[in-house]
Amino acid sequence: MANVVVIGAGFAGHTAALYLGHHLGKKHNVTVINKYDYFTYVPSLVWVGVGHMPPEKTGIPLAPVYRRMHIHFVHGKAVELHPEAEEQFVVAERADGRRERVPYDYLIIATGPKLNYAATPGLGPHGGYTYSICTRQDAVHTRDAYLELVQRMEKGERVKIVVGTGHPGSTCQGASVEYISNIHKDLVKRGVRDKADLVYLSNEPALGDFGIRGTKARAKGRLITSQEFMEAIFREFGIHWEVQKGVYKVEPGIIYWEDYEGNYGETEFDFAMLVPQFLGNRMEVKGPAGEDLSDRVFNKGGFVLVDAIYGLPYERLEKNPDAWPSVYQNPYYTNIFAAGIAFAPPGPISVPHTTPNGTNITAAPPRTGMTSGIIGRVVALNVIDLVKKGRMTHSERMSEMFTACIASMGDSLWDGSAAVVLTHPVVPDFRRYPNEEGRDLFVTHMEIGLSGAWMKRLIHTTFMYKYRGYPFWQIIPE
């Protein structure tokens, strides 16, 4: 009987758990360790942040799902890993403070991001001066502050709202684009749009880069870039954009940044939602004598080392799609896997930039949402293979992966809209697609409209069904 442990229950971890429970749960021991006792459908937090969706509609209690799937659930945090013990185990610290040893034969680390607000002084909702929609609690806090701001506007006050990235190495620009677009639509409906200046502030080299080097696709019968696509939307919405800027400090009402040319500047605000740098959730890795083995599992950023080619300069990385991992397996401990944001990428997808002052302003590669779910499935199916067959049969690199990004720009099913961007592959492959984008221009597509708003809401409903593990959940693609 095999012991399989999953650490984390976000998109990657919960997806992996569902497959593991379905295939192994009745005959083997499957355990999930997660610091929250619920799953959060993070893409819908953008609606929570403007007061258009109750927070409870974005969450699913985990314990009932795992009982049905024959999965043991530990509500707590993994704090130690012992990969060289005679019986390998994880130490979990439960929510009530008790510690528990959880043995494993196979381990999947899918801990999601550590929100590194501390890397930018003054950033974040916890002792800082900005807000966040990265967690359910933070989205509720942001909603309350936003609605207070709306009340000031309804009394005639003019305000400046800034949304974007709060660190030179941030990712998740898509969430910021969604949030500022939903703010625009909400203010229009409330009749106070003329009382707000909206500014999108980002570390991207160009609007529409999204940390994936942008893309080019057919929209309305012609080839356009994602930069042209997003600029047209923002011009229509009256949103000003400032890109190529890395935020290094926030004070009350002032964001300090450095731009690509090494110039320093400021952006004032009355309300700001800035996404922090994402790090991995590094934990202690101990040997039999208590020695520190962390560097065999994690890199300095806390991400899990996997079967990628690390250390390549960007000029070689962009020409080698095989540098990206295919099975997400740790090279030192081959029974340890990583999924979603937890795995260490070989480098950025977007073109990196270092300022004359030595500051690296580069959008980090996104590994959230659909990408996380796909990787969670691949890793789970390989663990199932190893348990049942002794060999792995599944693989999928991000340089082979298709992804769909549906960015809400107003949630109404009557007059809302969403930008739909289909990209294949996520990481450009210039060998297979020898065009200037390195992507399949027949598949890659962009459009915006009401149908996108319906699709966004349908996906929310469908995935909340899937992640409850209801009948036929597995036919709903990641």
List the CATH number of the domain containing 53: 3.50.50.100
**What residues contact 129, with CB distance under 8 A and at least 6 apart?**
122, 123, 250, 251, 252, 253, 272
Q: How far apart are CA 390 and CA 47, in angstroms?
A: 45
118-143 CB burial, b ≥16 within 10 A, e <16: ebbebbbbeebbbbbbbbbebbbbbb
Angle subtended by helix axes 370-388 and 11-24, to nearest 10: 30
Q: Token digits for 189?
A: 């409906």
| 15 domain-assigned | yes
Bridge-based pairing of strands 59-61 and 89-94 is unpaired
| 401 domain-assigned | no
| 33 domain-assigned | yes
| pLDDT for 421 | 86
CA atoms within 13 A on the CB side of 67: 4
Q: Contact at 8 Å (CB) between 277 and 116? A: yes
Q: How far apart are CA 342 and CA 251, in angstroms?
A: 31
Backbone angles phi, psi at 403, to 5 degrees: -140, 150
| pLDDT for 80 | 97
478: helix, strand or coil:
coil
List, for the chain, all residue ranges whose pLDDT scores fall below the cut of 70. Answer: 219-220
Residues known to be catalytic: 172, 405
Quickly count: other Cβ atoms within 10 Å of residue 1's Cβ: 8
Q: How far apart are CA 2 and CA 151, in angstroms?
A: 57
Q: Contact at 8 Å (CB) between 175 and 152? A: no
Q: Which residues lie across from 298 on neighbouring strands?
A: 304
| pLDDT for 339 | 98
Listed residue (166, 275, 233, 281) closest to 420, CA to CA: 233
| 475 domain-assigned | no
| pLDDT for 219 | 66
3-state secondary structure 148-167: HHHHHHHCCCCEEEEEEECC
| pLDDT for 220 | 67
| pLDDT for 325 | 98
Q: Contact at 8 Å (CB) between 20 and 381? A: no
Question: Where in the sequence is the domain holding 334, given as residue range(s)?
Answer: 3-114+279-388
The reported pTM is 0.96
Which of the 8 DSSP states describes residue 298?
Answer: B
| 45 domain-assigned | yes
Q: pLDDT tens digits, residue range 369-393?
A: 899 999 999 999 999 999 999 999 9
Domain count, the chain: 1
In terms of phi and psi (left: phi > 0; alpha: psi -120 to 50; beta: otherwise), the region of 185 is: alpha
| pLDDT for 453 | 85
CA atoms within 13 A on the CB side of 455: 17
| 162 domain-assigned | no
| 199 domain-assigned | no
| 62 domain-assigned | yes
